[in-house]
Structure 1
C-alpha cells in the first residue's frame, strides 16, 4: 500500500480518566494494528471533556498525560501515529464554528448518543451548549484531518452519521468537494460490560479495570464480577448469557475452543464460578502485566512524553490548517490570500 492510497484514521478519547479494558477491546487494539496500515491521528480530547466537567478542569488537564501514557503503554508508536492535544489545535474550534451553521438544535437533540448521554448525566433541559454541540466538535476533529476511517464503539455510530451529514451539507453548500466522508471501524467486540454487569465499562461508574491496574486490583475486580445469580451450587446448570465473566473470556481469551468448553460445562452444571474466574484472572494478568511495565518506563520520563505530544500537536496543526484554508476558501473567507 502506497502513502497516496493509505486510509487516514482519526481516533481518540475524552481525557476524563485513565483508559481501561473497555477502551482496549473497543478500539485500542485496532489503533495499534492500523498505525502500520494507515495514516493515523490520535486525539486527546480535553476540550470535549470540559463540556461536562465545569469546575473539574484540573482533573481533565491532569489526565491528558495519563491517557497519553496509556496509549504509549499499549503500543501506540509516535513514529507511526500522530498524537495530539485537542485544545492546542485552535483550527478545530474554528472549523466547528463554521459547521455549527449547518445543523439545527433540533437535529442535535435527536442524536441518539447525545440523548443517552444527557439522560445519564441528568441534564434534562439544563444542557450545557458545549455538550449539546459535541457531535459538531467531533465532526470538526474528523474532517480537519480528512479521516476516511474512525474506530468507534457501536454507541458512537450516530456521531459518524451526523459527521457525514455535515460533510454532505457543507460540500453541497459550497458546490465543491472539500470535506471527506468517513466510515466507522467497529471491533469484533463493540462494547464490554462493566464488572457489575449493569452498564458498559466506565471508570466514573466504578465498574472498570484500568490498563494500569495492579495484580491485586485485577484479582479483586474479577472476584467481584457479576455471573449468574441462579447458579447457587457448583452442580447447578448456569447461564452464560449476561454473565460478565464469560463476556470477558469471549473478548480476551484467544483460545476459542477452551472458552466453548467452559461454556458447555457451565451450562450443564458441575463448574463453579470460582474456577471460571480463576481462568479469566490468569488471562487478564498475562494481558495487563506487559502494558503496566511499559507504562512505568514511560512514566519515568514524563518530559519526553510531553515532547512527543508537542511534536504530534505541531504536525496536526499543519494538517488541520491546510483543511481550514480549503474550507475558508470555499466560503469566500480568504480575504488576504495571495
Structure 2
C-alpha cells in the first residue's frame, strides 16, 4: 500500500454477523475506498466487550463471522488491512494516555455516549470501558494516523471529541504529531428495521443478514411495513416513512423506475405486493453472490484466520511506531 494515499480507519464490533444495514451504511463504500485509500478494517472485539463482558464467547466467535462478511462482499486483503483490535497493544497504551487529556464530565456530555447510556438503561451503572469509548476510539484512529473515518451521523460527536484530544496532544507536544480527522457521513443514513419502528439490528430481530437464505429474505420483505392507510390498491399511498420505499431508495439502482413507482403509489393504483416483489428480487440478486462466496470461504477458515493474522501483524508495526512517536514528542521517559 502506498503511504501517499489518504488513510481510512473503519470497522465493526464483533457482536454478530453483519446485515444489509451495514452494507447500505458503510460496507459498499469500503469496496470503493480500498482502491484509492490506505484502508484499515478493525475487528473491534475490545469495543464489543464494553457491553458484552459477560458473554466473551459471543465476542470471540464473531471475530471470524465479521471477517467472513468482509471477504464475502469483496474486501481484498491485499488492498485493505483487516486487523484484530485486542491484538494491537498500542491501542490500549494510547487509550490510557489519552484518558489523561479528557475529563469524566466531558465523556458524559458526549451526545452519542449519553444516548447509548439511555438506550441501554445503564443508569449510573455504566461500564467504565463504555464511558471511556471516545478516548479508545481516538486511540484507534490516531494509532493508524487516519485522516478519514466513515461514520453514521450519530457518531460524529465521537470524532469531534477525537479531534479535541488530538489538539490537546499536539498542544502538549508543542508541535503537530497527530493529524486531525474528518468524518465521511453516509448519505443513506441508517436503515430502519423491517418493522419500520427502529434501526435495523440483529439483536432486535428486525434485520436481514448478509448471509440470509432466499426464504429468509422473502419472509422479511413480506413482513415489511408500508403505509397502514393503503388498504386497497386504488387508494393513494404514502411514500415517506414507507419501509419498502426506504429499502428501494437504498438498493434499487434504477433510480428513474423508483421515482415512477413513487408517483404511481402516491396517485393510487399500485399495490404493496408488487412493490415487495420488486424489492425481493433486488435483494436476492444482491445477497445471492455474497452468500455463495461466504459459504465457500467458511469451508477454509484457516485462510480467513491467516488474513486476520497477516493484517494484524502489519497493523502492530504501524501502531507501535505511532505510540513511540507520540510518547517521544510528549517527552516521556525513554531508555537509552
TM over 0.5: yes
Distance in 1, matches of 2:104 and 2:178, equals 22
| Higher alpha-carbon deviation: 179-188 or 259-268 | 179-188
Offset of residue 322 of structure 1: 0.6
Distance in 2, matches of 1:187 and 1:128, equals 29
Paired residue for 1:33? 32
CA displacement 1:98-140 (0-9 Å, x = unmatched): 0011111111111111111111111011111100011111110
User: Does residue 246 of structure 2 align to residue 258 of structure 1?
Assistant: no
Offset of residue 180 of structure 1: 1.3
Q: How many residues align?
A: 336
The TM-score normalised by the length of structure 2 is 0.98
Distance in 1, matches of 2:323 and 2:53, equals 29
Paired residue for 1:284? 283
Distance in 1, matches of 2:190 and 2:198, equals 10
Contact 1:325/1:334 (<8 A) preserved = no
CA displacement 1:293-319 (0-9 Å, x = unmatched): 111111110011101100000100000
Contact 1:211/1:292 (<8 A) preserved = yes
Paired residue for 1:138? 137
The TM-score normalised by the length of structure 1 is 0.98
Paired residue for 2:109? 110
The answer for unaligned runs of 5 or more in structure 2 is: none
SS of the residue aligned with 1:156? helix
Contact 2:3/2:38 (<8 A) preserved = no
Contact 1:10/1:149 (<8 A) preserved = yes
| Higher alpha-carbon deviation: 109-118 or 35-44 | 109-118
CA displacement 1:58-112 (0-9 Å, x = unmatched): 0000000000000000111000011000001011000000001111111111111
Paired residue for 1:176? 175
1:1-338 counterparts in 2 under 5 A?
Answer: 3-337=2-336
Distance in 2, matches of 1:335 and 1:322, equals 14
Offset of residue 4 of structure 1: 4.4
SS of the residue aligned with 1:36? helix
- Alignment CA distance shift 1:129-1:4 (3 Å): closer
Distance in 2, matches of 1:196 and 1:154, equals 22
CA displacement 1:10-58 (0-9 Å, x = unmatched): 0001000110111101110111111110111100000000010121110
**Cα RMSD over matched residues?**
1.0
Offset of residue 331 of structure 1: 2.2
SS of the residue aligned with 2:332? coil
Distance in 2, matches of 1:267 and 1:325, equals 61
